[in-house]
Copies of this chain bind each other. A is one copy, B any other.
């Protein structure tokens, strides 16, 4: 492939993903069609299908091109503060468009399309989980957490309540709510010597 042709393909790919995001925000993901995306991007329907076998996988790729702030954990020596910083950034991102409605729609689609669910986990959830786990492991080694702290469960217990609000009750996830979750999770998990 010549450089010029490769670059034209990149431009098309970008235009298609941009069109998918714009349309999902305008009409809602439920009404998004490959036809409408192709029209908006100025390409043929087959150009879209050549690259993406389904609407869900196109949408996944498109959502994951959205920029996020850096969501990796600092290590200031205070694990709860470091977790709070990253969780707050992530929650603030989800609190408004484009991330909020698009990420919810993506998880909605993952309930109907197993390929989307698998790819979402591999490309988005697992890297986040690994970064959180590394920070918690460091805290355990530094004696900030009890020796029996359930590291493998920690990400689920920290993020579960946030996803529960996002997807089920759809109540706002305030900074106060984040603090309460952190308190609930860490109340019994710090070394006993440090508890009152």
List residues of chain A with CB under 8 Å of any chain B CB.
Answer: 28-30, 104-105, 107-113, 117, 120-121, 125, 150, 153, 156-157, 159-165, 167-170, 180-181, 183-189, 192, 195-196
Contact = CB atoms under 8 A, between A and B. Distances in A.
Nearest to A103: B111
Given A157-B160, A195-B192, A29 B167 contact: no
B121 A112 contact: no
Q: Is the interface of A mostly helix, strand, loop or mixed?
A: helix
Contacts of A165: 156
Contacts of A164: 156, 159-160, 163-164
Nearest to A118: B170
B170 A153 contact: no
Contacts of A180: 150, 153
A146 to B, nearest CB: 8
B105 A168 contact: no
